[in-house]
Amino acid sequence: MKIISVEALVLRMPEIDVGAADSTQDALVVRVHTDTGLVGIGEVDASPTVVKSIIEAPPSHAISSGLAEILIGEDPRDVERLWQAMYEGSIFYGRRGVAVMAMSGLDIALWDLLGKSLDVPIYRLLGGARRRTIPAYASTLMPDTPEEAEAHAREIAQQGFRAIKFGWGPLGQDADHDVEVVAAVRRGAGDDVEILLDIGFGWRDADHAIAMCERVRPSRPGWIEEPLPPDDLVGYAKLAAAVDVPIAAGEENTTRWEFADLMDRGRVDVIQPDVTRCGGLSEARRIAAMADERGIACVPHSWSTSIIQAASLHLIAVMPQARYLEYCIRPNPLNTSLAKTPITVRDGVAHVPEGPGLGIDLDESQLERFAVHA
């Protein structure tokens, strides 16, 4: 089996809100085609046009090539070898950041192809499932007002979710308002639902974050996510040492080396590798193993289409310890309609796909509906 072509498809809603921290409004889907007719699919949750340019770039020299050029002609079943080939072939401009994110989508597509070629789901290739059902937390943006936050939390809890995450929106703009909307979420969710908070770097520095953690403590958040910028490892360490509430971070991080720094220097309690950003399934499973060795929780970030949700479920199925699938509930057709049989959650539980590879197929009509043609 040989790779004959690689597609990087930019998808976008007809109208988007560029001021919202909502990556469900566009997407970058990759398709890796083989001479057998099998096609592997993947996704990158990053700037679609930037990722597309990295995949499609012509070779410049031995360690500065576009990623598609590295893969064409290769056997897609050699997943780990091709991960290393992409890493080394882009090392002049890559090593971290968006180059590794672009690798991630292609790596997922290679795992999808390997599973399809053997007619088995990815989780079997990763060592076999420890679990086939995964608790899911509902993930959405924080509404602007306490009244809206309380009503939305109540609505989500009534759908059967036992954990809810609210993030970004107004959080970080006004300390008193933060306390009010978090308390409103707790009222709406009730006492038996875990609430999680994503501050989106909004608490500026460790001292302010320490004070804010104490102020929202009566609402009993299950974790505080990304209160500080991703590179402030000194601040994260200071914060984690000073507060009781678990601190979570990592969705912007790429590679095992950045996650080693986040855990060992940043001292966070929960890491959140995104399989479409951190280096794909190949790197995510290494990162999850590192977290397990350190006794740190690993809850993958998963905010986009059914592709990332399926890939995350296969990863979580084999992880030594597993807490949640992040399940985006934004009512966006690009997010919800791309797969013929989208990943769904019922009574707060998601099922690991059982079909070959990722276990999902894309709806060609929806790809065409949202495609951005150059």
What string of pLDDT tens digits covers the 374 residues of the chain? Answer: 999 999 999 999 888 776 676 777 899 999 999 999 999 999 999 999 999 999 999 999 989 999 999 999 999 999 999 999 999 999 999 999 999 999 999 999 999 999 999 999 999 999 999 999 999 999 999 999 999 999 999 999 999 999 999 999 999 999 999 999 999 999 999 999 999 999 999 999 999 999 999 999 999 999 999 999 999 999 999 999 999 999 999 999 999 999 999 999 999 999 999 999 999 999 999 999 999 999 999 999 998 899 999 999 999 999 998 899 999 998 888 888 999 999 999 999 999 999 999 999 999 999 999 999 86
Residue 130 shares a structural domain with residue 111:
no
Last residue of a domain, one of 100, 119, 138: 119
Report if residue 370 sits inside a domain. Answer: no
Do residue 160 and residue 52 come from a single domain? Answer: no
Range of the domain at 73: 3-119
In a domain, 151, yes or no: yes
Contact 214, 243 (CB under 8 A): yes
The pLDDT, as a whole number, for residue 24 is 76
**CATH number assigned to the domain comprising residue 179:** 3.20.20.120
Separation CA 71–CA 85 (nearest Å):
8
Q: 214 and 107, same structural domain? A: no
Last residue of a domain, one of 73, 97, 119: 119
- CA 51, chain centre distance (Å): 16
| pTM for the model | 0.96
Q: Are residues 164 and 239 in the same domain?
A: yes
Q: Are residues 35 and 100 in the same domain?
A: yes
User: Same structural domain for residues 71 and 168?
Assistant: no
Q: Of 84, 119, 154, at which residue does a domain stop?
A: 119
Quickly count: other Cβ atoms within 10 Å of residue 337's Cβ: 16
Residue type, 74: E
| DSSP single-letter state for residue 59 | P
Instruction: Report yes or no: 286 and 253 within 8 Å, Cβ to Cβ.
Output: no
pLDDT for residue 114:
99
Q: For the domain that residue 33 is a member of, what is the CATH number?
A: 3.30.390.10
SS (H, E, C) the chain: CCEEEEEEEEEECCCCCCCCCCHHHEEEEEEEEECCCCEEEEEECCCHHHHHHHHHCCCCECCECCHHHHHCCCCCCCHHHHHHHHHHHCCCCCCCHHHHHHHHHHHHHHHHHHHHHHCCEHHHHCCCCCCCEEEEEEEEECCCCHHHHHHHHHHHHCCCCCEEEEECCCCCCCHHHHHHHHHHHHHHHCCCCEEEEECCCCCCCHHHHHHHHHHHHHHCEEEEECCCCCCCHHHHHHHHHHCCCCEEECCCCCHHHHHHHHHHCCCCCEECCECCCCCHHHHHHHHHHHHHHHCCEECCECCCCHHHHHHHHHHHHHCCCCCCEEEECCCCHHHHCCECCCCCEECCEEECCCCCECCCCECHHHHHHHECCC
Quick check: is 70 in a domain? yes
- Give a yes or no: residue 374 inside a domain: no
Q: Has residue 357 been placed in a domain?
A: yes
Q: Are 228 and 333 in a shared domain? A: yes
Residue 154 shares a structural domain with residue 103: no
Domain count, the chain: 2
Residues 83 and 141 reside in one and the same domain: no
Same domain, 174 and 46: no
